[in-house]
Every structure is written in structure tokens, then in C-alpha cells.
Chain A
């Protein structure tokens, strides 16, 4: 049973516009959420995270929003750049647990 879901396998956005990547989860015990970025033939690179005590975390062009009642998080990239083209994974964990649960990824293409 997949506890973290990314329902959009792909997304195309024009350079300079906003990219919004979405992630849903089912386990209300999750208290920490992460986004990773993956280029082809490389491992995932940590991008940004958010604790369940917050609803927003911002780092430069990247902002993650958390809606606990909807069990939904999103990653906003503004402005989008061609170098942002990659697969983005969201992940979730329970603070006291040993596991991170990953979505299947969304492939973002930023069109110059």
C-alpha cells in the first residue's frame, strides 16, 4: 500500500513561470516531509524539507507548503529555470521510525 503518492507523472512549464508539484499522503503519523530532485543517471539530491509543525518553508526559489488536514504537500518553484528539469520525489517519515516513504516521482520539464 503506497503511503505517499505523486499522481502527476510529468509536468511541463515555461521558463520563468511557476512550477507546482503535488504530493499526497495517507499516514497521519508522518511528521517530516522532504523533496528530492533527481537528474538521469544520478542519485536523488535533497532539496527542501518541512516539519509537520509548520505549513510553509522557503529556500530561495523553492517553497514547500503543507496542508495537514488534506494530507497534501506541494513544492513551488519560482521562477522555473531549464536547469530545474529533473524528476522530483516527495518523501515522508515518522520521526521515531526507521523508514522514509517515497512517491513515484514527477518529471518536470522547463521549456526555454
Chain B
């Protein structure tokens, strides 16, 4: 138990579907992140939120839409995805942003398959 919970753990969706990934952190952290892990590639940062405000959007296609209603919850809304979007999506949190010694803690990930 890392203190960061992701649901669902596995998701299969068609290219015309709309679905959402949910993340909740119980660590009292102020920053939350979405990362994507594809096979044989490094973890790719998608979005960063600090105190519910988006501070980073790494050229992610608009078919991925994040939402951070409060500092404990983060969503990733998915719409008209492509098969190449199939990957492990990892949520993470850290106490703050931009501070020395900042450490991020990951959830267990949501495996997404787009068919």
C-alpha cells in the first residue's frame, strides 16, 4: 500500500469509447502527476498538478483530458483513443513541487488496452 490508489487496474476500451481513470492519494500531498509507461520506453510525464492547478502539460494529445477537483483526487478522461495509446498509466504524488529532495510516490497503475 503506497498511499496512492488507482482505479480501475485494468481497462479495455474501444476507439470510440469515453472512459476515465481515477487516482486518489492519502498522503496529504499537494502535487499529483500522470505518467505513461510504454514497453521499452522511459516513463513519460503527461500532466502535473499543484494544489489543483495544472502546471505542466507535456504536449499530450487532447484525447487525454486531466481533471483535479481537489489535492487528493486526479482523473484522466479518455476519449477516442488510438491502439498506440495502450500502456500502463501511472498516477503519482509528492509533497510539493519544485523543492529540493522532492520524492514522488506512485500508485499501482492502470493497464489500458485500446482495441
B100 contacts A95, C-beta separation under 8 Å? yes
Given A43-B106, A43-B108, A44-B90, A95:B42 Cβ within 8 A: no
Given A44-B106, A45-B106, A95:B45 Cβ within 8 A: no
Chain A proximity of B77: nearest CB distance (Å): 20
Q: Which of B40, B102, B108 has the most CB of A within 10 A?
A: B102
What is the CA–CA distance of A87 and B58 in the complex, to the nearest angstrom?
25
B90 contacts A46, C-beta separation under 8 Å? no
Given A43-B2, A45-B2, A96-B98, A4:B106 Cβ within 8 A: no
Pick the interface stretch among A10-18, A65-73, A76-84, A97-105.
Answer: A97-105
Determine which of A31, A42, A45, A103 lies in contact with B42 in the assembled complex, contact meaning CB atoms within 8 Å: A103
Query: Which residues of chain B from 1 to 18 have any CB-CB distance to chain A below 8 Å in the complex?
Result: 2, 4, 6
Chain B proximity of A10: nearest CB distance (Å): 12
A95 contacts B43, C-beta separation under 8 Å? no
B48 contacts A98, C-beta separation under 8 Å? yes
Against B, the Cβ 8 Å flags (1 = close, 0 = not) of A35-47 are 0100001111110
Determine which of A2, A89, A95 lies in contact with B99 in the assembled complex, contact meaning CB atoms within 8 Å: A95
Contact of B64 with A by CB under 8 A: no
State how many residues of chain A have any CB contact under 8 Å with chain B.
28
What is the CA–CA distance of A47 and B99 in the complex, to the nearest angstrom?
19
Q: What are the residues of chain A within 8 A of B107 when measuring CB–CB?
A: 43
B103 contacts A49, C-beta separation under 8 Å? yes
Q: Residue on B with the closest CB to A89?
A: B43
Determine which of B4, B40, B45, B55 lies in contact with A100 in the assembled complex, contact meaning CB atoms within 8 Å: B45
Contact of B68 with A by CB under 8 A: no
Determine which of B2, B48, B109 lies in contact with A99 in the assembled complex, contact meaning CB atoms within 8 Å: B48
Interface residues of A (CB under 8 A from B): 2, 4, 31-32, 34, 36, 41-46, 49, 51, 89, 91, 93, 95-105
Closest 8 CB pairs of A and B: A43-B106, A95-B100, A102-B43, A43-B108, A102-B42, A43-B109, A96-B98, A44-B106
